[in-house]
Amino acid sequence: MDPGTLDYSPILVLLVGVVAVFTQDLVRENSKTTLAITSVTLTLVCLISTLLVTTHTHLSVGGVFVFNSYSFFFTAVFSASALLACIQSSAYTETKSNPFEFYALILAATAAMSFVAAATNLMALFVVFEAATVSTYAMTAYSRRQKSSAEAAIKFFVVGAVSSGIILYGISLLYIATGSLNISPITTIIHGGSQLLSVAFILLIAGFGFKVAAVPFHMWLPDTYEGAPYPTTSFLSSASKVMGFAALVKIFFYMGPSVTAIAGLDWRLIFAALALLTMTLGNLAALVQTSFKRLLAYSSISQSGYILIGLALGSGYAYAILLYFTVAYVFSKIGSFIAADNFESTYGARSITDYAWLGRRSPVASFSLSIFLLSLAGIPPLAVFVAKFFMFYAAVQAGGAWIWLSVAGVLNSALSLYYYARVIKNIYLGVENQPPPDAQITRERWSYLLPILIALALTVLLGVFEGPVIHAAHVAINSLGGA
Amino acid sequence: MIGLETIIWIIPLLPIALSFIPILFGGRLPKGGGHVAIASIGVSAILSGIVLLRLPSTPVDYSVTWLLTGSAIPLRVGFYLDHLSALMVNITAWIALLILIYSLEYMGHEEGLGRYWTEMMIFTGSMMGFALADSILLMYVFWELIGACSYLLIGFWYTLPEAAAAAKKAFVVVRVGDVGFFVGFVLIYLYGHTLSLQALLTQPTTTIVSPTLRTTIAILIFVGAIGKSAQLPLYTWLPDAMEGPTTVSALIHSATMVAAGVYLVARLYPFFLAAPHALTVVAWVGALSAFLAATMGLVSTDLKRILAYSTMSQLGYMMTALGVGAYGAAMFHLLNHAIFKALLFLSAGAVLHVLGTRDIRQMGGLLRQMKITSTAFLVGALSLSGIPPFNGFFSKDLILGAAYEYGATSGNYYIYVLTLVSVIFTAAYIFRAFFVGYVLPPTQPRDKPVHEVPAVMSIPMIILMALTLITGWLWSPITNIFQPFVAYSPLIPPTPTAPIALTAVSLIFAITGIGLAYSGYMRSLFDPARLRQGAVGLRLHKLVSSGYYFDAAYAAVAKGLSQGLSLALDFFDRRLIDGAVNGVGYGLTLLGRRVRTVETGRVRNYLAIMVVGIVLIVILVEVL
């Protein structure tokens, strides 16, 4: 195959996929299985073609998008998340009369996200960012007859809309100040002085902070995660959040140093403060949660805090580790949500006390969930441990006050083990005064088991053999070129 | 054709990678997933065999960069293939395979069988990983895995208080040695700036320059080996470990756990050679262990404990061999001992399986009904005593010869005398067990008939019997197939050879031992019970049967030390630490509740907080 065609294929596959899924509805009635298989195949093809793309690729589209190793790295993360979410959705959409849109929305969001990672112009970035976000609003409201789903979507939408406004406001201030919308180093201030530029960047941080759930822009997240259908939650916690990081890293990689030079704004301190707040508050709130889905939501906030350390450090090495962190985090997180979905649909388990003795009834899912939680807590040799290790190591190497970031990170990890371990304890040792049930082992459904096992394999594999992904992350950051 | 570089990774990692199957799915599989365990170890064994056949003449290191890639401190891990590691991995894999096949029947009716298979798979895989590891760090990782698995396996019947206590004791006592190993390798890293085996094996003197430091490190590492190989003074866990299933004992005593200690010294042999006086310590500890354990074997009445003391004694021989410079003899004895000791344990296990007792006084009269089992024990006993043409004879003879030569060159004949006298005791205690436990008629009539064990248990014994007859000839006065395994590195000295007359001496000693047991127990020419009468006899008996008071001494020291210390620590722990931890926990939970109340569920509050956040950041940045 012509290498040029292959390079376009990840995006083409997704775009064609959206159309294909919609038209399938017209052509054939009641083919939910085919639909799921089509979507899974599409995301899989997208993932594989992304992995096959050469590292030197540099495709410019319309002058505002450049597809290179950086964007393909994220396309791989997005399509892998979409792949797992699609398999998971096949259980969810079984009872739905209109499953077509759900898959189409996942594919559309994934395509838009891939463009976010490729954007080189703030306005273009905003448009595709919104396209992805709007798809996720609809996905959140998908169980529209359920009050919780609708409520989650409304909250998500209102806060999201305000955040979009904030981003747009930031972009316009930036344009007033510099006369440019390109994501490239700022050379001059033509209007409004350095303070305007500072405010513009603070607004951008706040707006994208909504997407990555940085405290204090995180408030929507627990409600939305809890109310949304499980496949949506999986997707939101993985691809959608990583998209926020993809945008932030790109903007600050190019524009950060010049903002500091011209406006005197040390944005790294802002990120450091956000990281500190996010990991600590996320963990503290998770300590007292009784609903497992909500616990995972807060744990997802605290993980954002660790990832934000990468932006606070602001070095090429730290960015590469950030990229690795998103990969490591995504699989443990999606895996946990799918396991939670499995337990809720099979046993009606919602609160963490409902998880008592599940280890005896669903050994595979329970074991996998335990591994995911241990990974999130940062226990070696699992994926997130390696990510945290590198991240904290990078902070220690940066020296000075940055060391305190890693101290805070380590303390927070220790704290987080408490609530993760409590769930594992319930799974295997039950809760007080409740004897083990005399239950048989339940037959797991493949729509849950398959993605759980994929995530499990990757969580362990990334932990013991992280080299290739770290290497890819370095290549991705290097492809951004000198700032 | 898969290359060696792939095979070498598969051998240890396959059983570990598949170990989750029995424990998770054992309930649904026949025999609790035993076939998975056997198949995976079987593949490892076959691959080990292939490795042995295609062994490169010079050592090869197959490693990859692991963890910390891209950072300033890359860590390379992998597997190191030379004659020594290839030999060890074959011993482990094949012996483990036979024991696992035997377990199919022996353990077949136990509760929690899946757990057993999983632990055995990790145990064997870790031992193979330990044998093949190319850096001290990786060796240590597998070393600890071996320790953890032995804890789990000895305590397999964890509901029995004795088994739980024995498992704990094994773990704690071995741990004392582990600390030595740990400090040793940290010192290597601090002063040698490397953990790679290759550096230590090829340039021990340039890696660690100071000779004093080399000796310190070597002795610290040897302390680790003392713990694992149950040598003096850290042997006390070994007899108690007999509370575990007999198959576990068989594996621990032949090819895994205790062999790890000897292997550790053998693996780092060039480093030990470069450390002055370290090998002398090794020789003394080995010889004393060999002697004292043999005397303890004489007074025990528990068949498995007799075998446990014999393990300690035989490992003492291997350590002695290493100490006196007979590296080849030590490894040869490791191979032979693994075979005949597994055989003895499997025979003891078969008797236990049928009779339900381990006390030799309650056994007896088994020759006729359990022909294969009894023959197995006899073959093992002859080999252990050092009677030709069984394999134990050949390797023990080499060790004794080397010990004699060591005496001749250094003037220190004590080592030779200790090991030679142990030969009498060895032959006496094992034949005492054979005559009393197998040959003599039972003291009480049995309520149920005795029968031979099924084929799945007897075939492994038959294979081991055949091996006992074969492997000795790998290195006999007339054949030397074993030579490449000794002479693969220029740093390893040739094994000293002794005059043939010495062979006659040790043979006479062995036959004397057997004769003593025969005349005492079969012919009643004298009454062995009278030996422990009279003031001296009584005291001696008490001294030996209490294991030379090592346990009591540890208990006294531990009690004296811990009573005072623990009272203080208890206060510290309960009041200060727990108070602080509970306080922090309580405070954090309280804080968590407070954080949670901010989450009101009202969107307008969320937006307000967002805006306040932005304003705060702007103020902080612009004003401060």
As a three-state string, the secondary structure of B380-399 is HHHHHHCCCCCHHHHHHHHH
> Chain A residue closest to B601 (CA)?
A223
Average pLDDT value for residue range B105-114: 81
Domain residues for the domain of A441 are 266-483
Question: How close A285 comes to chain B (CA, Å)?
Answer: 5
The terminus-to-terminus CA distance of chain A in angstroms comes to 34
* Side chain identity at residue A380, one-letter code: P
Nearest residue, CB atoms, B592 vs list A158, A288, A386: A288
What is the predicted pLDDT for the residue at A303?
95
- Spans of all domains in chain B: 331-535, 552-623
The number of angstroms, rounded, from the C-alpha of B267 to the middle of its chain's C-alpha atoms is: 15
* Side chain identity at residue B165, one-letter code: A
Confirm whether A476 is domain-assigned. Answer: yes
> Chain A residue closest to B27 (CA)?
A441
> Chain A residue closest to B595 (CA)?
A285
Inter-chain contact B69–A470, Cβ cutoff 8 Å? yes
Structure tokens belonging to residue B170: 């094994």
As a three-state string, the secondary structure of B561-588 is HHHHHHHHHHHHHHHHHHHHHHHHHHHH
* Side chain identity at residue B216, one-letter code: T
Burial of A461 (0-12, 13-18, 19+ CB in 10 A): middle
Q: How confident is the model at residue B562 (pLDDT cuts 50, 70, 90)?
A: low
Digit-coded pLDDT (tens) for B587-613: 777 777 776 666 667 888 888 888 888
**Residue A155 sits at the chain B interface (C-beta within 8 Å):** yes
CB-CB neighbors (< 8 A) of B621 in chain A: 198, 202, 265, 270
Confirm whether A441 is domain-assigned. Answer: yes
Confirm whether A393 is domain-assigned. Answer: yes
DSSP 8-state secondary structure symbol assigned to residue A29:
S
Distance between CA atoms of A318 and A311, rounded to whole angstroms? 7
- Count the residues in chain B: 624
Confirm whether A75 is domain-assigned. Answer: no
Cβ-contact A329, A240 below 8 angstroms = no
SS3 (DSSP) at B78: strand
Residue A134 CB coordination number (10 Å): 18
Distance between CA atoms of B318 and A93, rounded to whole angstroms? 67
Cβ-contact A46, A40 below 8 angstroms = no
> Chain A residue closest to B591 (CA)?
A284
Residue B573 CB coordination number (10 Å): 13
Packing angle, helices A446-464 and A363-377, rounded to 10: 40
SS3 (DSSP) at A362: coil
Q: Which residues pair with B63 in a beta bridge?
A: B78
CA distances to A120, A459, B158, B264, B270 from B195, in Å: 47, 28, 37, 14, 15
Distance between CA atoms of B330 and B269, rounded to whole angstroms? 11
- In 3D space, the residue among B259, B282, B501, B283 whose CA is nearest the CA of residue B397 turns out to be B501
**Phi, psi (deg, nearest 5) at residue A163:** -65, -40
Cβ-contact A417, A461 below 8 angstroms = no
Rounded to two decimals, the pTM is 0.70
Confirm whether A33 is domain-assigned. Answer: no
Inter-chain contact B592–A284, Cβ cutoff 8 Å? yes
Nearest residue, CB atoms, B70 vs list A217, A367, A474: A474
DSSP 8-state secondary structure symbol assigned to residue B498:
-
Average pLDDT value for residue range B446-473: 83
SS3 (DSSP) at A66: strand
Query: DSSP alpha helices (H): ranges in B193-210?
Result: 197-202, 204-207
Cβ-contact B433, B305 below 8 angstroms = no
Distance between CA atoms of A213 and B474, rounded to whole angstroms? 69
Distance between CA atoms of B337 and B536, rounded to whole angstroms? 34
What is the predicted pLDDT for the residue at B598?
64
Structure tokens belonging to residue B310: 């014999």
User: pLDDT at residue B78 above 80?
Assistant: yes
**Residue A287 sits at the chain B interface (C-beta within 8 Å):** yes
What is the predicted pLDDT for the residue at A153?
92
Query: DSSP alpha helices (H): ranges in A179-192?
Result: none
CB-CB neighbors (< 8 A) of B614 in chain A: 166, 202-203, 206
Cis omega (within 30 of 0) for bond into B245? no
What is the DSSP track for A287-326?
Answer: HT--BHHHHHHHHHHHHHHHHHHHHHH-SHHHHHHHHHHH
Inter-chain contact A159–B603, Cβ cutoff 8 Å? yes
Confirm whether A408 is domain-assigned. Answer: yes
Burial of B586 (0-12, 13-18, 19+ CB in 10 A): exposed
* Side chain identity at residue B389, one-letter code: P
Domains contained in chain A, number: 1
Nearest residue, CB atoms, B614 vs list A202, A286, A393: A202
What is the predicted pLDDT for the residue at A132?
94
- The region of weakest confidence among A122-126, B38-42, B99-103, B240-244 is B240-244
CB-CB neighbors (< 8 A) of B68 in chain A: 389-390, 393
Structure tokens belonging to residue B378: 């006899």
Question: How close A272 comes to chain B (CA, Å)?
Answer: 12
Distance between CA atoms of B185 and B222, rounded to whole angstroms? 11
SS3 (DSSP) at B27: helix
What is the predicted pLDDT for the residue at A215?
85
Confirm whether A94 is domain-assigned. Answer: no
Burial of B447 (0-12, 13-18, 19+ CB in 10 A): exposed
**Phi, psi (deg, nearest 5) at residue B359:** -80, 120
Distance between CA atoms of A135 and A85, rounded to whole angstroms? 14
Average pLDDT value for residue range B147-162: 84
Distance between CA atoms of B580 and B566, rounded to whole angstroms? 19
- The region of weakest confidence among A208-222, A316-330, B57-71, B509-523 is B57-71
Q: Could you give the angle at the alpha carbon of B562 between the alpha carbons of B559 and B567, nearest 5°? A: 125
Average of per-residue pLDDT values in chain B: 82
Mean pLDDT of each 10-residue bin along chain A, 483 residues long = 64 83 69 80 86 78 87 93 93 82 90 93 94 94 88 92 94 92 86 85 94 90 92 94 95 89 87 93 88 94 95 92 95 96 92 89 92 93 92 89 91 91 90 78 87 95 87 90 57
> Chain B residue closest to A213 (CA)?
B610
User: Which candidate in A157, A219, A277 is best for mutational testing of the B interface (most B CBs within 10 A)?
Assistant: A219
